Structure 1
Amino acid sequence: MMVVGVGFFIAVALTVITMSSREALPASGVERLAITITSPFQFIASRIIGFTESVWQTYFSCVLAVEENQVLRRELSKARYTANWCKELELENARLKKFVNFQSSVPATYVAAQVIARDPSPWFKTIMIDKGENDGLIKGLPVLVSEGIVGQIIKVSGSFSRVLLITDRNSAVDALIQETRVRGIVKGNNEDTCSFVYTLRKDLVQPDQIIVCSGLDQVFPKGLKIGTVLDVKKNHSQLFQDITIKTAVDFDRLEEVMVYKNAD
């Protein structure tokens, strides 16, 4: 039925066009009748064509929008990567500036190194650096950053070295309180803090006092910062105080270090 209707519509339309072009019909006769019959079909056909064009335009617009969205996502991802990379360079530059200022303030030879590994064991506090015997490093050299001391080298290979952190329980640094010159030993306890031991109960020790290296252990240069007093406890039955210190170095964020080679 649809095919017949479409055929009838086309036939009538062609007839009207032909007769109109030859002026064979009067405007008030068959032509008006044909126009009356074909107008609804022409209206429907034009609406269908218009709707179809709108659908196709919408479809292609959606396809183009999806492609453009994918391109923009890739460009945004690249922009974020570039911004993050620039931020990392900025932070690294700030850290290196601290190293340069620190080196220029002390007459010594340093070797800069990067931290490439950390000991995952909870029983040891060590790190691995990317410098070794090929760079003139030997066992026992102190490792520092601009904020304070990190530890000392305990093993050396051609291109790598292992550093024992001052927070390790096997570490000990001869130290003193900067203001009062009260002596003691900084011992690691495998935690984020250290202990300041062998300080007599009669000595005055208060929170926030700065603890520095004494230089008497012949490992760490005198005057370098170790940390600050965090808590002080005195037990009348004990000879020494129980002192906890907060290290000057944030070991969780340690990325670059300096190895102290020569103080001459």
Structure 2
Amino acid sequence: MRGTFLWRNRVLLTGGVLLILSLHLISTGVHPGDLAARPESAFLEIISPVAAAFTHLSDGASSIERDYLDLVHVRDENAQLRIELARVKSDQARLAELEVENQHLGELLELRDALGTNAVAANVIGSDATGLSRTLVLSSGTDNGLRPGMAVLANQGVVGKIIAVSPNASRVLLIDDHNSALDGFDQRTRARGIVAGMVDDGLILKYADRSQDIRAGDTIVTSGLDGIFPRGLLVGSILSVHREGPGLFLGVKIAPAVDFRQLEQVLILTQPPPHLEDSDKD
């Protein structure tokens, strides 16, 4: 019976003994080397590695948390820097484009001053989409004083003439369209002909007499006799001259001075060539 009582109450009895021992240690104190200090020393010896491990894990967790927060901060800063860099590049591209446009506009204004005539600059905003004709669409129209028949130029040379207008836009027939024609001549030999476009692309000089000295590489300029383009504007250079066959005229192919596909800005002459005005006054 006694053994059964002790066994059944072992937890309570053990707790009481430990409590009494603790109270004794607190009341009397423990000196180094005492027997009572040995259990505590053993307990500290056992618990110290565990405590150290927990401290290390805690420090490691804190370090990982700090590193993570630093990484998130750096990532956010990098994202912001990328946004700022993209904005700077966009601004640089916009400024570079404005600089190029201003340069082209300045060259067009110099051309206007050299011609000594009234003119309007316009942006190219479109081109023919059907392939049936070769035209450009400009950003200026009747509100800017434009009307059909006006000459259109670029810094490099002749572009074409206006064939249709609206208040804020106009359409230009390019000189390489098969419906286009202008009076021109060989600057070296003064041989005249009609510069016309071909259906399958390109320019030719029509009605050039076979007796004329016309060679590849010669420069073709406007004669001013068509009443649209002033005299002496660059049209292009001769690519080839064919004399085969019994015909009266030479077969002359011309390379345009202007790359029509690269045009961004043009100059429209808003008054006829000066010498035609003078002849009208007479």
Q: Give the TM-score category using the shorter length.
A: 0.7 to 0.9
Map of 2:54 onto structure 1: 45
Separation in 1, partners of 2:29, 2:111: 104
2:120 pairs with 1:120:
no
Pairwise CA distance, 1:202:
3.3
Match of 1:157 in 2: 166
> Is 1:193–2:202 an aligned residue pair?
yes
Mapped partners of 1:57, 1:189: distance in 2 = 75
Identity of aligned residues (%): 35
Matches of 2:182 and 2:128, distance apart in 1: 21
**Residue from 90, 100, 109 that aligns with 1:91:** 100
Q: What is the aligned counterpart of 1:142 among 147, 151, 157?
A: 151
Q: Does 1:26 align with 2:32?
A: yes
1:190 and 1:91 map into 2 onto residues whose CA distance is: 34
More moved, 202-211 vs 158-167 = 202-211
1:197-245 CA distances to partner (integer Å, 9 max, x unpaired)? 2223332322322110011211111100011112333324443332222
Q: Which residue of 2 aligns with 1:213?
A: 222
Residues 122 and 190, structure 1, Cα contact 8 Å, conserved in 2? no
User: 1:213, 1:224 within 8 Å by CA — same for their partners in 2?
Assistant: yes
Q: CA offset at residue 148 of structure 1?
A: 0.9
Equivalent residues, number: 246
- Match in the other structure for 1:35: 44
CA-to-partner distance for each residue in 1:156-188, whole Å, 9 max, x for gaps?
223322111111110011111111112121111
| Equivalence for 1:249 | 258
1:103 aligns with 2:112: yes
8 A contact 2:126–2:136 mirrored in 1: yes
| 1:64 aligned counterpart, secondary structure | helix
The aligned residue for residue 261 of structure 1 is 270
Instruction: Name the aligned partner's letter for residue 30 of structure 2.
Output: A
CA distance in 1, matches of 2:69, 2:149: 71
Instruction: Give the corresponding residue for 1:230.
Output: 239
Relative distance call for 1:65 and 1:27 in structure 2 (3 A) is farther
- Secondary structure (helix, strand or coil) at the match of 2:270 reads strand
> Where does residue 80 of structure 1 map in the other structure?
89
**Which amino acid in structure 2 is aligned with residue 224 of structure 1?**
L
Q: Which has the larger radius of gyration?
A: 2
For 2:118 and 2:263, the matched residues in 1 are separated by 21
Does the 8 Å CA contact 1:213/1:220 hold for their aligned counterparts?
A: yes
1:110-164 deviation per Cα after TM superposition (whole angstroms, max 9, x unaligned): 1222222211111111112222223322221111122111111111223322111
TM-score scaled by length of structure 1:
0.84
Answer whether contact 2:118 2:269 (CA < 8 A) is retained: yes
Distance in 1, Cα, partners of 2:213 & 2:108: 34
1:7 maps to what in 2?
none
C-alpha distance in structure 1 between counterparts of 2:223 and 2:62, whole Å: 87
Residue of structure 1 equivalent to 2:192: 183
Unmatched 5+ stretches in structure 2: 1-24, 275-282
Do the aligned partners of 2:186 and 2:219 also contact (CA within 8 Å) in 1?
yes
TM-score (structure 2 length as normaliser):
0.79
